[in-house]
Copies of this chain bind each other. A is one copy, B any other.
């Protein structure tokens, strides 16, 4: 169960309105790696957690924090939309500033949400639950989380570069710092799990049942061998079981497929 306090986790106050920037900022609210994504992802990982209690607690700690980040961004966007111009195109064409604003605004910010934030990304595409990752295997999921915090911090940094408003930058500096922590956190959690379970997900599958001839081969399918220069092409494998091998000319090992004709009730093309 949850409780809410009125104060924001950190300041979210722009120095002045900027409806064009509001549109861009939606990306880290409702985009693939926005705050709604990590909020839903961490909460579901926590609620579904069948592992040791400290993981569930930790996931719910951070999932609950993420709701506060959604709140900060929604609050900031609503304020950036303050006083968004509503004039028509004819007038806009006469005043370059209004025109710049009108051309770059998300029209739904006026028509649909009445100068409020939306759970959408910067192109107006709605957040959807297929962004969420919760597999029941925590090592897999913590790698998803490390990626989410990496993409997320990258996007917030790009948005930091795209404004000079001190109030906006102040809030972003907080979100960037939390993403620093969260990248550190998932690396720590991953290391803990890798030490007990090994690095290959899932560790519980008996490797004898996989086709081990190709478990450590790098296959060169794009003409040119620059790829042989990477760590992935030589030296011991990261699971400590073997050595990487570079296959210069990978060959097909399977059949040339031929399908049976379809039964008559399918009305396909006769063979």
Contacts and interface: CB of A to CB of B under 8 A. Distances in A.
The copy count of this chain in the complex is: 6
A126 to B, nearest CB: 4
A4 B60 contact: yes
Contacts of A114: 48, 135-137, 154, 158, 262, 266-268
A227 B57 contact: yes
Interface string A64-82: 1101101110110011001
A135 B154 contact: yes
B112 A50 contact: no
B269 A221 contact: no
Interface in A124-163: 124-140, 143-144, 146-147, 150-151, 153-155, 157-163
Interface in A13-55: 13, 18, 20-21, 23-24, 27, 30-32, 36, 40, 43-44, 46-55
Sorted from nearest, which 7 A-B pairs have the closest CB atoms? A114-B136, A48-B116, A8-B254, A123-B124, A7-B252, A126-B129, A103-B103
5 contacts: A40-B119, A48-B116, A72-B254, A144-B147, A180-B239
